[in-house]
């Protein structure tokens, strides 16, 4: 009976696959709101209205992703609602895809021009590669003031800290305030710069991967992140079902938040590629474990995926296999970072833990947006940490219960608790939809524990093209 029940669940999952992918299209469209400059929205609806709308749009987007990976689609998505949703998703994503083609063209042009980094993390990584090639330790010699002036970057793309002249200030500093403060900061004395984050704040692979480009003298690191996006697209599209490739390709072009993040040189594109490949290649023991280790050594966000990955492996291969992969991934993380740990352990720790330890301003599209918009008062900083921890525990419990049936849910569950954090930047959530779509639409759902009866059902129930949702009801 268990065999037939599982076969029925898989058949139902494949039958509803087009609608699940359409939900991801809606999520991509909703996230596009975050790319509208905040100055524009605040000028029209004020700070409170802009903050509330940002929170609602991000929450609705993540809700759509969660529905797409839920064990059962709710009944209200059937019939007219499902068909209306399909029309909105199809038309909206096709329109956004046209804009996406423009962004791809901009990437090709700007790959050979002087960079404009919209986040200081990429700027510091670029500078870290330069420091390393000149025999310096990036974790001790990083200087945000020198990097801003050397690469001619605007001061307002830095990360201000609530200390020094900004101590006690609750509202995020204005562009004019940041420019004025940075103009007063000394060069060559990073330890004296209190108002700006000057640490290289990521594990070592974040900048080690950029060293070849810096050595080659490229003016920007954009080609590397563009390569990561291209690899995700090529490998992902080859893995998905042939009849669904056109829709997944449209999602890639329609996902303006991801394209804009790549255009800005956002590091998230690198780590999410590695996390996706670790899941895609999970049956190849060493390759999958190595890919997860590389992801851990790239950015702290990847750490949230590790417990979900271990649950995923445990449910398919057992505790021994999961522990073995944990050991490989952990050893690789240590090996990549060990030279910098040995050179200066305290500097490496201060850099990698900077997002947790340094007094950064509250920012983001999560729960904190309601306090930024003056809807609710700010809670103590620790309260957001506790909420985030509770969210992580809840997400892990859900995945342990339903992860065998919905393994791709890990992509969104790993980042969902960040919606409750002190800093819940939109980029934390931008990279959920595409990997989820690729894993949902992949060509095979088989695992080593599935029986011949289950595989037979899967082979007979080919996924329907997405457009059929327009003419069918969800049962």
pLDDT tens, per residue, the chain with 475 residues: 444 344 444 444 444 788 888 999 999 999 999 988 888 898 899 999 999 999 999 999 999 999 999 988 887 776 777 778 778 888 888 999 999 999 988 888 887 777 778 888 889 999 999 999 999 999 999 889 888 888 888 888 889 999 988 988 888 898 889 888 888 887 777 667 788 888 899 999 999 999 999 999 888 889 999 999 999 999 999 999 888 899 899 999 999 999 999 988 888 999 999 999 999 999 999 999 999 999 999 999 999 999 999 999 999 999 999 999 999 999 999 999 999 999 999 999 999 999 888 999 999 999 999 999 999 999 998 999 999 999 999 999 999 999 888 999 999 999 999 999 999 999 999 999 999 999 999 855 444 334 343 343 333 344 444 454 444 444 4
Residues in CB range of 339: below 8 A, 6 or more apart: 204
CA proximity to 275, closest of 236, 327, 331, 315: 236
How many Cβ atoms are within 10 Å of 206's Cβ, its own excluded?
A: 25
- As a whole number of angstroms, the distance between CA 289 and CA 328 comes to 6
CA proximity to 124, closest of 104, 146, 102: 146
Which pTM was predicted? 0.89
Helical axes 433-440 vs 245-254, angle rounded to 10°: 180
Structural domain boundaries in the chain: 2-115+219-466, 120-215
Q: Return the pLDDT at 426.
A: 93
Q: State pLDDT tens for residues 197-229.
A: 888 999 999 999 999 999 998 888 899 999 999
Q: Return the pLDDT at 109.
A: 82
CA angle 428, 124, 193 (to 5 degrees): 105
Query: Do the Cβ atoms of 58 and 415 come closer than 8 Å?
Result: no
């Amino acid at each position: 009976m268990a065999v037939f029940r599982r076969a029925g669940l898989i058949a139902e999952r494949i039958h509803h696959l087009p609608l699940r992918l359409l939900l991801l299209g809606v999520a991509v469209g909703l996230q596009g709101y975050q790319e509208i400059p905040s100055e524009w929205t605040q000028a029209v609806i004020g700070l409170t209205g802009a903050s509330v709308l940002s929170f609602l749009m991000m929450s609705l987007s993540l809700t759509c992703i969660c529905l797409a990976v839920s064990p059962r689609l709710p009944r209200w998505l059937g019939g007219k609602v499902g068909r209306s949703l399909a029309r909105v998703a199809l038309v909206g994503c096709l329109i956004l895809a046209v804009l996406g083609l423009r962004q791809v063209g901009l990437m090709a042009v700007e790959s050979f021009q002087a960079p404009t980094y919209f986040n200081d993390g990429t700027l510091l990584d670029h500078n870290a590669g330069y420091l390393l090639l000149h025999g310096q330790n990036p974790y001790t010699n990083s200087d945000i003031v020198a990097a801003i002036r050397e690469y001619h970057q605007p001061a307002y793309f830095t990360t201000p800290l609530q200390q020094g002249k900004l101590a006690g200030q609750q509202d995020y500093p204005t562009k004019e305030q940041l420019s004025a403060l940075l103009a007063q900061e000394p060069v060559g004395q990073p330890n004296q710069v209190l108002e700006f984050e000057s640490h290289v704040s990521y594990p070592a692979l974040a900048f080690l991967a950029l060293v070849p480009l810096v050595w080659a003298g490229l003016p920007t690191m954009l080609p590397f992140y563009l390569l990561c996006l291209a690899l995700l697209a090529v490998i992902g599209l080859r893995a998905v079902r042939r009849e669904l490739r056109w829709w997944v390709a449209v999602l890639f072009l329609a996902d303006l938040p991801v394209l804009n993040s790549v255009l800005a040189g956002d590091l998230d594109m690198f780590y999410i590629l590695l996390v996706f490949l670790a899941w895609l290649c999970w049956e190849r023991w060493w390759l999958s474990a190595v890919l997860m280790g590389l992801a851990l050594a790239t950015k702290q966000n990847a750490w949230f995926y590790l417990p979900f990955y271990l649950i995923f492996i445990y449910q398919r291969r057992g505790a021994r296999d999961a522990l073995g992969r944990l050991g490989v991934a952990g050893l690789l993380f240590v090996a990549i970072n060990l030279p910098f740990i040995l050179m200066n352990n305290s500097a490496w720790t201060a850099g990698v833990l900077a997002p947790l330890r340094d007094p950064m301003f509250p920012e983001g599209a999560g729960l904190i947006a309601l306090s930024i918009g003056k809807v609710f008062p700010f809670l103590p900083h620790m309260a957001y940490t506790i909420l985030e921890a509770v969210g992580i525990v809840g997400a892990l419990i859900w995945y342990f219960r339903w992860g065998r049936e919905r393994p791709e849910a890990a992509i969104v569950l790993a980042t969902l608790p960040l919606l409750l954090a002190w800093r819940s930047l939109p980029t934390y959530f931008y990279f959920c939809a595409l990997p989820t779509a690729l894993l949902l639409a992949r060509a095979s759902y088989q695992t080593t524990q599935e029986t011949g009866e289950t595989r037979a059902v899967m082979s007979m129930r080919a996924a329907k093209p997405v457009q059929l949702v327009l003419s069918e009801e969800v049962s």
